[in-house]
Structure 1
Amino acid sequence: MPDFTDNLRPAEPDGPTTLAKERSQSSLRVHELAEHLLGRDGFLKRQERILPVLQKEPLLDKSTQQNLSRPDRYKLGLARAKLLRRLAGKHGWDHEDYKMAEYLVDDVSPYLLHMDMFVTTVREQGSEEQKAHWLPLIESWKIIGAYAQTELGHGSNVKGLELQATWDPKTKEFILHSPTLTSSKWWNGSLGRTANHAIVVAQLLLPESNPVGGRVPAYKSYGPHPFIVQVRDIKTHQPLEGVVIGDIGPKYGYPSMDNAYMLFKDFRIPHSAMLSRYARVDPNTGEYTKPENPAVVYGSLTFVRSRIVSHARLVLARAVTVAVRYTAIRRQFRDRDGDGTGPELAVLDYPTVQIRILPLLATTFALHYSGLAMRRIYEDARNNIDRGDFSPLANMHVMSSGLKSLCTTLAADGIETCRRALGGHGFGGGSGLIQLNNDYLSKPTVEGDNWMITQQMAASLIKKLAAVVESVDAPAKDATEKSFKEFIFARNRGEQSINYGILSDDEAIVRAFERRAVSLSFEAYEERVLKKSKWNDLMIKLHQLSRAYSQYILVENFYNALRSEASLSKETMTVMWDLYRLFSLYTMNAEARELLNAGAASNEQLNALPSRIQDLMARIRPHAVNLVDAWKIPDYLLDSALGRYDGKVYEDLFNRAHRLNPLNKITFNPNYWEEEIVKGSRDNGKDILCKL
């Protein structure tokens, strides 16, 4: 029977016409901006080269994956991961090519931890002998690894991990043992069903002295250390004796990732299992050599955090792309001040929608420039460490902690804000935000809870300020010390406020954020160092301090990037400066009280911010579609009816519901007095329960 819906079309003006008009009204050069954002490291060319390969593979089609059960999503995820590895070999992809393929498929790979935390830890923490043995096996995928640090009872507090690695001087082995239920490894990705090896972080226990007369020796903990451990048989893939391991079950997101639990019972591993580039135990004497710099043990964690900071821009850009394109097409209600005969207004023309979406559009660019800065800091620090200079490591760890917390919070909250701004269709699968939202919900917690890790940045600032106070007349060693000294000198002169020209001077905006961060640092210093307040009582203020300093970093990086940019046209730069102002002033408006208390802005200036923000949104609004186009996010990755590039929103939504939804291919029996569930089948409630 013919389907009359095949000939129906949306009401005019349709999506394609609307987006074409949106793009034509802006002078912003999309390709130029795209090259500026993503062209320098080969991202765009790599995406253009790899995307067609992926789109040819039926296994990588995304049209019905949301309808699969959790076990089937893991099976699909593993099948896709294997396919990507084979495609890498077939097409000669390097590591960055492979990561691009993972990014575009957007189904978190069960192999993810193998090529991230596992290999990175071995590369950074292993001795030369260990690297020579393990890296060829890892890079050839002869073994599959994971990273097992967090436990059922401890996550952010790495020092509190309970799993024990006890040195046995008689056999020259370590004994891994889980003394409590809470010592179970937990949340460890790629380990539940996939990996056969893992980096296992455990408390190193060494005998304090040789036992006398057969007495049991006393053991001392030397803190958590990484060990490389085989946990499954290579041929059978069954857990080795003494290892209990499995998948923890359903989660908010990551349905294709096998997050694990794992416990050990008197499980013996060789002396060579302890990664010993920086710390080691002498196999003959049992003597412990500690790292020259304790901060090196956080190298892998810092690497992951720096990657998370850089990735936040791309994640938020996806949500904002969907929101901008759809709200430009979606029309609701006529202008109340019109004559009642005109067309309905585009949702994006409502200031109440703009205030939710356009600052987030500006935020994607702020995250971009700080992501680039974080990458440079990490690469420079690693180069210094390889030369034996560990001095940048602590600062990099602190910086990555503060920025990871702020950037992932902005991205996670931003995705949900975009979803809500989409109205009813934002709740449906056609939004393209279900998996994105659920998957990214892990980021404010993973690799350090966003509230807990901010203590690291706050503690560092207090320590640095205390040192400055002790030697206030000495030359400043860096920009932070210079800011602290200037603040102290100003206070000594009785200057309580500066009231920077935030409404007319772009650099003044940076200085205002700096002043607020320094002022909060001084308040924290007074409370902790001078008044001896308890750390626990200060934790909320310390979180505010880290957030303020991290916001200052975002604003400063954004400003410095634009100030030094020479490749963009005048038209594009005009829009970029407006984005900088919108991000900065919108953030400032949300933090107005702290800026006022710090003497960085006056009441009059702060009262003028809402009007200034609305003016900036009106200036940016005509360029909104072109701005999201510049992120060059392909429809294959978006997987969104609402955000598709061609604007065929309603056609795609109806197609997904009417033609692609597998539920609509089944005829059900709704009669409550009959146990049959599906017409013509033997399925009933009891059968379904058995299958579950």
Structure 2
Amino acid sequence: MSKEIYENPDLKKERQNCPFNKEEITHLLDGGKEKTIERKQLENYILSDEQLKDAVPMEYLSHADKYAEELRKACLLMHKLADSPAGQVPTLRALMGAGLGSAVLKEGNPLALHYVMFIPALMGQGTIDQQAKWLEKAYNLNMIGTYAQTELGHGTFLRGLETRATYDPKTQEFILESPSLTAYKWWPGSLGKTANYAVVMAQLYTKGKCEGTHPFMVQLRDEETHEPLPGIVNMWLNPVCISSYIHYGTYVKPTNSKLSYATMVFVRVVVCQDVTTNLRKAVTIATRYSCVRRQSELKPGDREPQVMDYQAQQNKLLPPLAATFAFQLAADHLWNLYHTANNNIEQGDLELLPDLHGLSCALKALCSSEAANFVEVCRQSCGGHGYMSCSNFPRIYGQVTAAETYEGENTVLWLQVARYLVKTRKEQSGGLSVKYLIGEEKGPKTVDTTLEGIVKLYRRAAVGLVDVAIAELDKSGRKGEAPHDAWNHAAVYLIKAAQAHARLFVVESFVDSLKEGKLSAPVRTVLSQLCELFIIYWLLERSGDFFLCSNLTKQDLLLLNSKYVELLAAIRPQAVNLVDSFDLRDEVLNSPLGCWDGNVYQRLFDEAAKSPLNQSNVHESFHKYLKPLLKSNL
């Protein structure tokens, strides 16, 4: 990381005598020392290119100019890809995510969906013949694709999609059409201007019967002129005919319809990783700023203290700091499960699929919602400066909150998770992540406030809230309510159960990773403190669930509160060292508040000077509007 000659004295003091090796944590987060070296090489390679830097900050450009500028840089990045020192695969992932890619493409990558959804859809849902026809073109960027599922009137509820694909046995073609305004494909990235192909999700009709949603490859634009093809009007299909591999109108059901979830599961895993990266940026910005900013009086007559010295500020920032580790370790666990399940699927083994689907829904909903809340807390912790666009909080917050509604609106995902939990509890059979729901816990249910004891409390809460939801469903059933009505009337209980399940998974992933990881004693100490702080924080925030489902007492809660406050004080001296270990370059943070050198105020002033409005002393609007008003004697 390049360091300016100037270094804020408060930050310099925070960094002195760090008791742990920051690089060890960096390697842990990157996935090993070699991955760290690759990342740094790639960052130097990409960020040293002057053509990839913004002459004018993006917020001062029009929407059309933003798109053109981001597309220019995205295309240049693709040209640089072949010469990447880290290889193409890691480069692609870095450039499509919230890390290095966001340093160059601040408004988003126009080509991201091509790699994140279009190519995975071809790989996961295309036949061998289709892959042979399209995959090489897609990898070579001879075509740009997107994944067109969401419609103006329907999103998560796939069975409600209105786009139709009717098979014509005479021509052996599918006729795709949008029967209404609400059937317009809406929200798929790159669809409006960039993509010339799309995997389109539509209801398949053959011999007068609807066979459910299926993916179809549709060419949207001419490959030479980029003009929309006949029938394509802003992704309104009116109608469009495409070739078919099905002959004589005979429908053959896919080997396993659940395989169509593979693309969405993959994207949910990526979402978990990206919201965690964005949270890491927010925490770094807020933590460094809170150690540079001095405010008010802690002791009458003394110098204004660092904002971070206030316990209230520690309470705001240290839980999200801990959450970045918790979410990353859980996302890593899910990523490994995804690859294991994918390999098994290729061998015809679908056993892990239900568990993978349940966990990907749960973790995506939990990470996105919690990260959104934490990012907003980080912004508030920076006062008015955090509200400025140049702080980068508005952009980070926008990206994280968007994740709450794409690839499954979170409430819908929670209810899908709840269905899996209820089924497991009732049938006493399910995947590894829900084994705790099978059978009854043996032994006394005494409360133990050690780390292991708190994890048991999470497990009891998760089991207990599933049982509460089932009891509510049964009560509705005894009243004679139809199952779908009973489900709707128990939604609040079901969502609570799903959330408790997700929290348990994150907590267990955090604790197990620290047990299993090869860590030095100093690193293990500080990460264990963060782990304990985080799981106590979550418990205190939702103490009602734990009172309901365990023998937790008021005295236990007071004890946990005391331990929580002690942990705030213990972690506070290492806050800056911990965010430094994230090794986020200033270009990635893109915030004067979070810069490595702490030269906050000069950088804020310099950012304001970049505004086109500040390039002249008197704006032309003064003579047009304000001066006539001043002379009008109102």
| TM-score scaled by length of structure 2 | 0.92
Residue 663 of structure 1 corresponds to 613
Letter in 1 for 2:453: A
CA distances 1:406-447 after superposition (whole Å, capped 9, x unpaired): 001111111111011001111113312222222222100010
CA contact (8 A) 1:178 1:184 kept: yes
Letter in 1 for 2:310: Y
Residue 508 of structure 2 corresponds to 556
Residue 589 of structure 1 corresponds to 540
Letter in 2 for 1:190: S
Report SS of the residue matched to 1:235: coil
Residue 121 of structure 1 corresponds to 121
CA contact (8 A) 2:199 2:218 kept: yes
Aligned ranges for residues 170-249 of structure 1 at < 5 Å? 170-207=170-207, 219-245=208-234
- Aligned pair partner of 1:366 in 304, 326, 331: 326
Letter in 2 for 1:445: T
The CA deviation at 1:343 is 1.7
Residue 89 of structure 1 corresponds to 82
Is it true that 1:440 corresponds to 2:406 in the alignment? no
The CA deviation at 1:67 is 1.5
Letter in 2 for 1:224: T
Residues 205, 600 of structure 1: CA spacing in aligned structure 2 closer, same or farther, 3 A cutoff? farther
Rounded to whole Å, the distance in 2 between the matches of 1:467 and 1:91 is 51
The CA deviation at 1:105 is 3.7
User: Gaps spanning 5+ residues in structure 2: where?
Assistant: 1-5, 628-634
The CA deviation at 1:26 is 3.1
Letter in 2 for 1:17: P
Letter in 1 for 2:268: R
- Aligned pair partner of 1:300 in 249, 254, 263: 263
- Aligned pair partner of 1:537 in 489, 510, 525: 489
- Say which one has the larger Rg: 1
- Aligned pair partner of 1:30 in 9, 22, 45: 22
The CA deviation at 1:459 is 0.2
- Aligned pair partner of 2:247 in 283, 289, 292: 283
Residue 257 of structure 1 corresponds to none
The CA deviation at 1:374 is 0.6
Residue 94 of structure 2 corresponds to 100
Residues 482, 99 of structure 1: CA spacing in aligned structure 2 closer, same or farther, 3 A cutoff? closer
Letter in 1 for 2:241: R
Residue 276 of structure 1 corresponds to none
The CA deviation at 1:318 is 0.4
CA distances 1:366-408 after superposition (whole Å, capped 9, x unpaired): 0011011010110000000010111211211111001100001
The CA deviation at 1:500 is 2.4
Instruction: Say what the alpha-carbon RMSD is for the aligned residues.
Output: 2.0
The CA deviation at 1:602 is 2.0
Letter in 2 for 1:154: H
| TM-score scaled by length of structure 1 | 0.85
Aligned length: 607
Rounded to whole Å, the distance in 1 between the matches of 2:624 and 2:598 is 45
CA distances 1:134-193 after superposition (whole Å, capped 9, x unpaired): 111101111110110000000111111000000111111110011111011100101100
The CA deviation at 1:596 is 0.6
Residue 516 of structure 1 corresponds to 461
Residues 671, 168 of structure 1: CA spacing in aligned structure 2 closer, same or farther, 3 A cutoff? closer
CA contact (8 A) 1:110 1:189 kept: yes
CA contact (8 A) 2:468 2:493 kept: no
CA distances 1:565-597 after superposition (whole Å, capped 9, x unpaired): 22x221221111110111000000011011011
Q: Quick check: which one's helix share is greater? A: 2
Rounded to whole Å, the distance in 1 between the matches of 2:34 and 2:64 is 36
CA distances 1:587-614 after superposition (whole Å, capped 9, x unpaired): 0001101101101522211233332211
Residue 501 of structure 1 corresponds to 448
Residues 542, 483 of structure 1: CA spacing in aligned structure 2 closer, same or farther, 3 A cutoff? closer
Residue 565 of structure 1 corresponds to 517
CA distances 1:486-516 after superposition (whole Å, capped 9, x unpaired): 24x78xxxx7xx24212xx111111110110
Which range is displaced more, 608-617 or 629-638? Answer: 608-617
The percentage of counterpart residues that share the same residue type is 34
Report SS of the residue matched to 1:48: helix
The CA deviation at 1:650 is 1.3
- Aligned pair partner of 2:473 in 523, 528, 531: 528
Residues 86, 479 of structure 1: CA spacing in aligned structure 2 closer, same or farther, 3 A cutoff? closer
The CA deviation at 1:540 is 1.6
Residue 361 of structure 2 corresponds to 401
Is it true that 1:263 corresponds to 2:252 in the alignment? no
Residues 386, 144 of structure 1: CA spacing in aligned structure 2 closer, same or farther, 3 A cutoff? same
CA distances 1:523-566 after superposition (whole Å, capped 9, x unpaired): 22222256426111111211111111100001000000011122
Report SS of the residue matched to 1:289: coil
The CA deviation at 1:94 is 0.7
Letter in 2 for 1:95: V
Rounded to whole Å, the distance in 1 between the matches of 2:239 and 2:26 is 55
Rounded to whole Å, the distance in 2 between the matches of 1:321 and 1:161 is 41
The CA deviation at 1:128 is 0.8
Report SS of the residue matched to 2:242: strand
Letter in 2 for 1:524: A
Letter in 2 for 1:526: A
CA contact (8 A) 2:361 2:414 kept: yes
CA distances 1:277-323 after superposition (whole Å, capped 9, x unpaired): xxxxx412x22222333211111000000111122221111000001
Residues 330, 15 of structure 1: CA spacing in aligned structure 2 closer, same or farther, 3 A cutoff? farther
Is it true that 1:454 corresponds to 2:414 in the alignment? yes
Report SS of the residue matched to 2:624: coil
Report SS of the residue matched to 1:78: helix
The CA deviation at 1:222 is 1.0
Residues 536, 42 of structure 1: CA spacing in aligned structure 2 closer, same or farther, 3 A cutoff? farther
Letter in 2 for 1:629: D
CA contact (8 A) 2:275 2:367 kept: yes
CA contact (8 A) 2:362 2:499 kept: yes
Report SS of the residue matched to 1:113: helix
The CA deviation at 1:42 is 4.4
Residue 631 of structure 2 corresponds to none
- Aligned pair partner of 1:579 in 500, 523, 530: 530
Is it true that 1:485 corresponds to 2:439 in the alignment? yes
Letter in 1 for 2:65: D
Rounded to whole Å, the distance in 2 between the matches of 1:477 and 1:535 is 23
Rounded to whole Å, the distance in 1 between the matches of 2:498 and 2:8 is 45
Report SS of the residue matched to 1:124: helix
Aligned ranges for residues 336-485 of structure 1 at < 5 Å? 336=299, 338=300, 340=301, 342-468=302-428, 478=432, 480-485=434-439
Rounded to whole Å, the distance in 2 between the matches of 1:641 and 1:569 is 34
The CA deviation at 1:485 is 0.7
The CA deviation at 1:228 is 0.8
Residues 467, 334 of structure 1: CA spacing in aligned structure 2 closer, same or farther, 3 A cutoff? same
Report SS of the residue matched to 1:21: helix
Report SS of the residue matched to 1:391: coil
Rounded to whole Å, the distance in 2 between the matches of 1:408 and 1:477 is 24
Letter in 2 for 1:383: N
Letter in 2 for 1:65: M
CA contact (8 A) 1:151 1:187 kept: yes
Runs of 4+ in 1 over 4 A off after TM superposition: 476-479, 669-673
Rounded to whole Å, the distance in 1 between the matches of 2:602 and 2:431 is 61
Residues 232, 486 of structure 1: CA spacing in aligned structure 2 closer, same or farther, 3 A cutoff? same
Report SS of the residue matched to 2:233: strand
CA contact (8 A) 2:27 2:35 kept: no
Residue 324 of structure 1 corresponds to 287
Letter in 1 for 2:554: N
Report SS of the residue matched to 2:218: strand
